[in-house]
């Protein structure tokens, strides 16, 4: 395994220390993650990148308190994930939007606020603000089934932001969308990052997506899932459509792609699969 040493962030938001996850027993046993460690700083956008089965979602589920590690520890702002969850320290966006079809867009976004007992007036004010942030003001009274896939995903992003969590966990949120919608939502996500200053942990298996969005990329290798290398994305912090056409962007993609193949027999791609 190659590993590029990168400085530890000044203010740690997420600390993953020597985490391993083993599923099943006996012949069914799968080591999904083996001795994984990394730190993510406040306001950082970090992508977990790797091939199918390398443990990206498992890692995100650990941070989201949906799963416990077999060994090692995860901390969010110094707390265990359970405490962070109870204190609503993070929002989650999954690959499929998982909206309630019988609730309007506005009422889907308001759901977490309603569950907290927020007044109707305040719910309405906040959902209007969030829908403006994701460009869906006009569709507040539509139902999810009246929206495109990209618009539905915007609703789920707005809902994840409803309780104003400092951390957003996103598991391949754009992978089911067409290229045009994906690129548009990537730009919108960066706008949200700029305007809210939140920390993002983003799972993807797309190298260009990880390069375009991230401050740092954690590359995972599979079987068992391990940190292969961690990369600073040396691109201007202002990311726009033109950046995708630059030499620097292509170079970064090549650097990341090559790291999957280095120090191995080029004909042996088993570590990636
Ligand atoms: N609940 C489970 N029980 C048994 N094995 C599991 C479970 N969840 C995940 N695994 C295994 O752990 C490994 C990592 O899975 P994980 O879903 O985290 O990978 P991934 O990188 O997110 O994959 P993908 O990109 O396909 O979503 C895989 O080998 C998977 O089969």
Ligand 1 binding pocket includes 58 (Cβ within 6 Å): yes
Q: What is the pLDDT of residue 39?
A: 95
Q: What is the pLDDT of residue 178?
A: 85
Q: How far is the CA of 66 from the centre of ligand 1 (A)?
A: 13
Q: How far is the CA of 32 from the centre of ligand 1 (A)?
A: 6
Q: What is the pLDDT of residue 266?
A: 44
How large is the C-alpha radius of gyration of the chain?
19
Q: Which two tokens stand for residue 247?
A: 């030499």
Q: How far is the CA of 58 from the centre of ligand 1 (A)?
A: 6
Q: What is the pTM of this model?
A: 0.89
* HEC letters along 6-71: CCCCCCEEEEEEEEEEEECCHHHCEEEEEEEEEEEECCCEEEEECCCCCCHHHHHHHHCCCCCCCE
Contacts within 8 Å (CB) and 24+ apart, 60-63: 60/169, 60/171, 60/201, 60/203, 62/16, 62/19, 62/21, 63/14, 63/16, 63/90, 63/169, 63/201
Complex ipTM? 0.97
Q: Which two tokens stand for residue 231?
A: 């990369």
63's torsion region: left (phi>0), alpha (psi -120 to 50) or beta?
alpha
Strand blocks (E) in the chain? 12-23, 30-41, 45-49, 71-76, 90-93, 167-171, 199-204, 216-221, 226-232
Distance CA 66, CA 250 (A): 36
* Separation of CA 36 from chain center: 17
Q: What is the pLDDT of residue 245?
A: 93
Low-confidence stretches of the chain (pLDDT < 70) are 1-12, 262-273
Nearest to 91 by CA among 176, 169, 19: 169
Cis peptide before 195 (omega within 30 of 0): no
**Which atom of ligand 1 is least distant from the CA of 220?**
21
Q: How far is the CA of 52 from the centre of ligand 1 (A)?
A: 8
| Residue 146 CB neighbour total at 10 angstroms | 13
Mutate to test the pocket of ligand 1, among 32, 204, 222 (most ligand atoms within 8 A of CB): 32
Going by alpha carbons, the residue nearest to atom 16 of ligand 1 is 55
Nearest to 168 by CA among 231, 76, 259, 79: 76
Ligand 1 binding pocket includes 51 (Cβ within 6 Å): no
**Which atom of ligand 1 is least distant from the CA of 21?**
12
Ligand 1 binding pocket includes 24 (Cβ within 6 Å): yes
Q: Which two tokens stand for residue 222?
A: 């599979």
Q: What is the pLDDT of residue 262?
A: 64
Residue with tokens 């799972």, as numbered in its chain: 203
Q: What is the pLDDT of residue 152?
A: 94
């Amino acid at each position: 395994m190659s590993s590029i040493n990168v400085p530890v962030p000044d203010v740690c938001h997420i600390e993953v220390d020597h985490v391993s996850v083993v599923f099943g027993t006996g012949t069914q046993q799968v080591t999904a993650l083996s001795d994984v460690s990394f730190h993510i700083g406040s306001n950082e956008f970090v992508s977990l990148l790797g091939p199918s089965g390398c443990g990206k979602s498992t890692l995100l589920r650990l941070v989201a308190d949906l799963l416990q590690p077999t060994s090692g520890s995860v901390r969010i702002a110094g707390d265990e994930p359970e405490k962070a969850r109870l204190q609503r320290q993070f929002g989650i966006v999954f690959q499929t939007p998982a909206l309630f079809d019988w609730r309007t867009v506005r009422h889907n976004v308001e759901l977490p606020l309603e569950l907290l007992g927020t007044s109707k007036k305040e719910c309405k004010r906040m959902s209007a603000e969030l829908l403006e942030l994701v460009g869906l003001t006009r569709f507040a009274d539509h139902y999810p089934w009246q929206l495109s896939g990209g618009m539905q995903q915007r609703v789920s992003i707005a809902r994840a932001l409803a309780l104003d969590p400092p951390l957003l966990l996103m598991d391949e949120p754009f992978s089911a969308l067409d290229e045009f919608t994906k690129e548009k939502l990537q730009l919108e996500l960066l706008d949200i990052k700029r305007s809210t200053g939140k920390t993002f942990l983003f799972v993807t298996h797309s190298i260009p997506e990880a390069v375009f969005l991230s401050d740092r990329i954690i590359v995972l290798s599979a079987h068992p899932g391990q940190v292969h290398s961690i990369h600073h994305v040396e691109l201007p912090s202002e990311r726009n459509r033109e950046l995708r056409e630059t030499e620097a962007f292509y170079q970064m993609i090549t650097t990341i792609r090559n790291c999957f193949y280095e120090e191995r027999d080029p004909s042996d791609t088993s570590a990636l699969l």
